[in-house]
Chains A and B, each alone.
Chain A
Amino acid sequence: MTSEAPLIEARSLAKVFHRRRLFAAGATGLRAVDDLDLAIHRGETLGLVGESGCGKTTTGRLLLRLIEPSAGRVMFDGHDLTSLDASAMRRLRRRMQIVFQDPYGSLNPRMTVGETITEAFIIHGIGDRTERQQRLNRLLDRVRMPRTAASRYPHEFSGGQRQRIGIARALALEPQFIVCDEAVSALDVSVQAQIINLLQDLQQDLGLTYLFISHNLAVVRHISTRIAVMYLGRIVEAAQTDALFAHPEHPYTRALLASVPVTHPSHRGRRLRLEGDLPAATAVVRGCRFAGRCPHVEDRCRSVDPELAPRPGGGLVACHRVADRTLPWSATHP
């Protein structure tokens, strides 16, 4: 890991969603993100994985301050986002963007592609008419869309093309950091590959930093330099991609990696299966949040919350038994 300061960093970040009810007294909220620490370094692609509902998307939104955190801070290149006023935040938005999952819901159906992409210039008062047009053309070229697309409406394009348009919009302000929230999950596999290649080319050309949120481990492994595994609103393990896949330490990470279907029949070994469901995020958890489903659980796991600590082979992991090296190797990862 580099010693240089991270581009964006979450410190003890938390988001609790409260149900809006008139007469609810002392209702416990849904803790989507709970005391989360995360650092993303310049030029890297951090893959954020975890099962549905673990708070991946909320984390992405919090990092961009699209939603207000309940607690904690987000530092972007030395600025504390949570303390910025509206106009300072607006200026900083030029440096951070987002690409969405749903290529149908992420484009305003009543705006042409050109209007959608150039809206950023209007908001930030960039350029005059001709310069905006030039920039628009360059952006369309960059995402490999025909320039004629500008005057057409989103519904005239396929899912992959719409995703390119969404990427062009995200690039319009020349950001440094882009959150890709399940950016390829809604696409066909062949189209997925095209979009991933595009994202990687853009990263090389423009020196972008990505937070790549996905539940698709194969995709994340391909694109990420580093991976963070999230469980119930918190990071349980983070390491370089190769290290994580070669030696997953946290029992949840092991189960997650073991859940990837193996295509070759002779490679099918014993599968590590998790019992039970994700506990309700409204429940107040004592101890390790994975304790209820962990095959290696001990008494202390139910009472003491493990901290993120350096993990063998680099990175961080939050598990008592990894920390004192009493966790047995699982059958799937000899």
Chain B
Amino acid sequence: MSDTVSTPLGETWRRLLRNRSFVIGAVVVSLIVAVAVLAPLIAPHDPLRNNFRTRLQPPGEIFWFGTDHFGRDILSRILHGGRISLIIGASTVVVTGIFGTAIGAVAGFFRALDEPIMRLMDAIMAFPAILLAMAIAAVMGASVTNVVIALSIATTPHTARIVRGSVLVVREMEYVEAARALGASELRVLFRHVLVNVTGPLIVRLTYVFAIAILAEAALSFIGVGPPPPAPSFGNIIANGRDFMIVAPWITIFPGLAIIAVVLGLNLLGDGLRDVLDPRTRI
């Protein structure tokens, strides 16, 4: 029934709390965010301090997750690395959210611009996102900002497509026609009646963008075009441990597990949101 589209906040919130994957995802993600925010307070060691006497220590009492080839504490590096990974994820979500919504809304609402805009988006989408991000990051150089820019360019077309699709549905609703009959301007119709009703699918998409960005950051770091060392991110901790994978597997295993936890949490969160907010995916 149509109640799935039209539920206001209170009811949506109740349904979310009854959704198991949303609750688990939300708990996991909140924990990770809390740990990343509190990293300077709870990290047992300095993530950047080299100590050659403690090189390649296996997990133990002092270094819970072991140390890398510079003797840096892996646990502390993961806690701090989470900050950069989350900052990249969150920034990509914001940038993609703004541009994807703007582009999708314009294409869906002003139909004359639909073809040119969406063909351009298709052209960008023709490249696999990760390849595109790699190419852009490689050209622009390694920095957190450039990684965010590269990932935003790679994730915007799909987001725009989702927003456009929802706009196309909502713009035909009778309440949009009613607003026009009252004499509402096109901008008023777009903002007050159309965009507010496409937030569901958009929120869902942005949750996945968050997960994609964190995974992609790891991949970019691994091949050396991510945020530059020595500042840790999930990806470059793994990249650093690559040469010692046989003798010191803990350097790569623990950040890998961290990535799994974040991405799994975000995906569960996204699945839960999708089930509740986006009725078209329901059976």
As a 0/1 sequence over residues 90 to 107 of chain A, the CB contacts with chain B under 8 angstroms (1 = contact) are 110110111011101111
Interchain CB contact under 8 A, B175 and A107: yes
Interface residues of A in 150-166 (CB under 8 A from B): 153-155, 166
Alpha-carbon separation in the docked complex, A96 to B2 (Å) = 29
Which of A118-126, A187-195, A303-311 makes up part of the contact surface? A118-126
B181 cross-chain contacts in A, Cβ below 8 A: 64, 66, 93, 96-98, 170
Alpha-carbon separation in the docked complex, A105 to B196 (Å) = 15
With A107-B175, A108-B197 in contact, is A120–B3 under 8 Å at CB? no
Q: Is A73 an interface residue (CB 8 A)?
A: no
Q: Is B258 an interface residue (CB 8 A)?
A: no
As a 0/1 sequence over residues 85 to 126 of chain B, the CB contacts with chain A under 8 angstroms (1 = contact) are 000000000000000000000000001000100000000000
B188 CB to nearest chain A CB (Å): 7
Alpha-carbon separation in the docked complex, A119 to B196 (Å) = 15
Number of A-B residue pairs, CB cutoff 8 Å, is: 78
Q: Is B131 an interface residue (CB 8 A)?
A: no
Q: Is B7 an interface residue (CB 8 A)?
A: yes
Interface residues of B in 45-92 (CB under 8 A from A): none
Interchain CB contact under 8 A, B174 and A105: yes
A104 cross-chain contacts in B, Cβ below 8 A: 2, 6
CB nearest neighbor in B for A100: B174
Alpha-carbon separation in the docked complex, A173 to B183 (Å) = 10
Interchain CB contact under 8 A, A155 and B7: yes
With A105-B173, A123-B188 in contact, is A98–B178 under 8 Å at CB? yes
Q: Is B193 an interface residue (CB 8 A)?
A: yes
Q: Chain A, interface size: which category?
A: 35 or more
B6 cross-chain contacts in A, Cβ below 8 A: 104, 109, 153-155
Alpha-carbon separation in the docked complex, A93 to B183 (Å) = 6
The contact of B174 among A20, A94, A106, by CB within 8 Å, is A106
B23 CB to nearest chain A CB (Å): 24
B174 cross-chain contacts in A, Cβ below 8 A: 100-102, 105-106
Q: Is A264 an interface residue (CB 8 A)?
A: no
Q: Is A289 an interface residue (CB 8 A)?
A: no
Alpha-carbon separation in the docked complex, A172 to B182 (Å) = 9
A105 cross-chain contacts in B, Cβ below 8 A: 2, 173-175
CB nearest neighbor in B for A119: B182
Interface residues of B in 1-18 (CB under 8 A from A): 2-3, 5-8, 11
Q: Is A234 an interface residue (CB 8 A)?
A: no
As a 0/1 sequence over residues 251 to 270 of chain B, the CB contacts with chain A under 8 angstroms (1 = contact) are 00000000000000000000
With A94-B183, A123-B188 in contact, is A155–B8 under 8 Å at CB? yes
Alpha-carbon separation in the docked complex, A98 to B174 (Å) = 10
Q: Is B184 an interface residue (CB 8 A)?
A: yes
The contact of A93 among B177, B182, B192, B196, by CB within 8 Å, is B182
Interchain CB contact under 8 A, B8 and A110: yes
Interchain CB contact under 8 A, B196 and A106: no
Q: Is B33 an interface residue (CB 8 A)?
A: no
B180 cross-chain contacts in A, Cβ below 8 A: 66
A contacts, CB < 8 Å to B: 20, 22, 61, 64, 66, 89-91, 93-94, 96-98, 100-102, 104-111, 116, 119-120, 123-124, 153-155, 166, 169-170, 172-173
8 contacts between A and B (CB under 8 A): A90-B183, A91-B183, A100-B174, A107-B175, A123-B182, A155-B6, A169-B178, A173-B182
**With A61-B177, A119-B182, A123-B184 given, can you name 8 additional A-B contacts, CB distance below 8 Å?**
A20-B111, A93-B182, A98-B178, A101-B174, A116-B175, A120-B182, A124-B183, A166-B178
